[in-house]
């Protein structure tokens, strides 16, 4: 049996899949299989895939498009390796990618999910995330802390999660999956580039931005609720998204601050997040919320609201920001009074 199974879903990727496959077949690590999952492509992807003659390729074709989540779960089910690696059909793996991750996971049995950095093709832009477990947990509170094409995980951990990748979190199924991993194992990201990441208009993040945001919001809510073992009311859900997202100003900052203190108190009693890091993170989110509410939010329309919020602004805004805000509110009131 191979040590690693690489899952490579393909849907109408004729322009890229050949380069992706070549990058895998040229790996310095050789004890692996590639499960190429053709998700009902209507272009010439199959011809490109079949042009490769290598026994490490296992080709599985669907007669119709069943979606990425179906293919990911099928790939893990069919995988024979101890470790599962991912690569999207439009990305390119560096030639030592599998070796580097294999070595790390062999040396660190406590780590069940491992990612790394990516370089954007055609530019010098570097995509990276938190490296250590505690930092990853905090990052997962507001966004996916892994580049999907860089991940390698233990199949034995995945098998502990009932149902696999969840269709209820379409376009954010990986974010949801890694969140579930946090309840079972430690997580890490390597501080080095593992893949070259392609940016184009047909990506899920570009084509399904609204759906991705909605699904990601559900993951954010599930994560804080499950991590702290609490049940959120609808108001608390909206409060938490306002705090974490920083671009929704539906609540007076004092109300948001009460929510922050509630989360801090719960985590102190039974820590899931490292206490001091969690509190710094929440205070940082709240500081951004206060600035957004008073500096950019047009709901703060009058001097009374401004005066009411002075204690909060005093802690989170600079003197220059408070002065600018007061001036703008006075001018606004004078304009409305004419």
Q: Choose the final residue of a domain: 211, 243, 266.
A: 211
* pLDDT at res. 247: 78
Total domain count, the chain: 2
181 and 286: one domain? no
Q: Does residue 222 belong to any structural domain of this protein?
A: no
Same domain? For 207 and 233 the reply is no
| Segment 58-78 mean pLDDT | 96
Same domain membership, residue 131 and residue 196: yes
Q: 186 and 273 share a domain?
A: no
Give residue-wise pLDDT tens across range 119-171.
999 888 999 999 999 999 999 999 999 999 999 999 999 999 988 999 999 99
Q: Are residues 141 and 237 in the same domain?
A: no
Does pLDDT of 338 surpass 50?
no
Cα–Cα distance measured from residue 158 to residue 154, given in angstroms and rounded to the nearest whole number: 7
Which of these three, 183, 211, 239, is where a domain ends?
211
CB-based contact 38:46 (threshold 8 Å): yes
179/311 same-domain check: no
| Residue 203 scores a pLDDT above 60 | no
- Which residue, 211, 241, 275, sits at the end of a domain? 211
Residue 150: CATH number of its domain = 3.90.550.10
166 domain-assigned: yes
Residue 100 has pLDDT above 60, yes or no: yes
Query: Is 109 domain-assigned?
Result: yes
Predicted TM-score (pTM) of this structure: 0.88
Residue 38 included in any domain: yes
The answer as to whether 256 is a domain residue is: yes
CA pseudo-torsion sign 317, 320, 321, 325 = positive
pLDDT at 309 over 80: no
Do 11 and 112 have their domain in common?
A: yes
Query: Does residue 249 have a pLDDT over 60?
Result: yes
Q: Which of 4-18, 218-232, 293-307 comes out lowest in average pLDDT?
A: 293-307
User: 175 and 234, same structural domain?
Assistant: no
Question: Phi/psi of residue 321, each to 5°?
Answer: -65, -40
Tell me the C-alpha distance between 135 and 142, whole Å: 12
Could you identify the residue written with the tokens 């009932």? 162
**Full domain range(s) for residue 72:** 4-211
Average pLDDT of the residues in 232-246: 94
Residue 337 scores a pLDDT above 50: no
């Amino acid at each position: 049996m191979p040590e690693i199974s690489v899952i490579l879903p393909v849907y109408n990727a004729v322009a890229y899949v050949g380069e992706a496959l070549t990058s895998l077949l040229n790996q310095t690590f050789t004890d692996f299989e590639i499960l190429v999952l053709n998700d009902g492509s209507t272009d010439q992807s199959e011809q490109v895939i079949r042009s490769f003659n290598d026994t490490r390729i296992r080709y599985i074709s669907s007669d119709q498009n069943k979606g990425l989540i179906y293919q990911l779960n099928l790939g893990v089910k069919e995988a024979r390796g101890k470790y599962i690696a991912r690569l999207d059909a439009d990305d390119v793996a560096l030639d030592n990618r599998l070796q580097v991750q294999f070595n790390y996971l062999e040396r660190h049995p406590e780590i069940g999910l491992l990612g790394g950095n990516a370089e954007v093709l055609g530019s010098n832009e570097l995509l990276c995330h938190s490296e250590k477990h505690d930092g990853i947990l905090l990052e997962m509170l507001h966004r996916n802390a892994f580049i999907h094409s860089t991940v390698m995980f233990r199949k034995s951990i995945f098998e502990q999660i009932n149902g696999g990748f969840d269709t209820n979190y379409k376009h954010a199924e990986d974010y949801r999956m890694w969140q579930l991993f946090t309840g079972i194992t430690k997580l890490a990201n390597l501080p080095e580039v593992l893949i070259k990441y392609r940016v184009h208009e047909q990506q899920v993040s570009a084509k399904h931005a609204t759906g991705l945001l909605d699904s990601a919001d559900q993951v954010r809510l599930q994560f804080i609720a499950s991590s702290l073992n609490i049940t959120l009311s609808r108001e608390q859900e909206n409060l938490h998204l306002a705090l974490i997202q920083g671009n929704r100003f539906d609540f007076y900052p004092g109300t948001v601050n009460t929510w922050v203190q509630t989360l801090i108190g719960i985590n102190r009693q039974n820590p899931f997040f490292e206490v001091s890091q969690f509190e710094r993170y929440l205070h940082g989110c709240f500081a951004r919320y206060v600035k957004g509410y008073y500096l950019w939010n047009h709901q703060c329309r009058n001097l009374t609201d401004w005066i009411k919020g002075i204690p909060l602004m005093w802690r989170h805004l600079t003197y220059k920001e408070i002065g600018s805000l007061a001036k703008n509110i006075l001018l606004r009131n004078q304009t409305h009074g004419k």
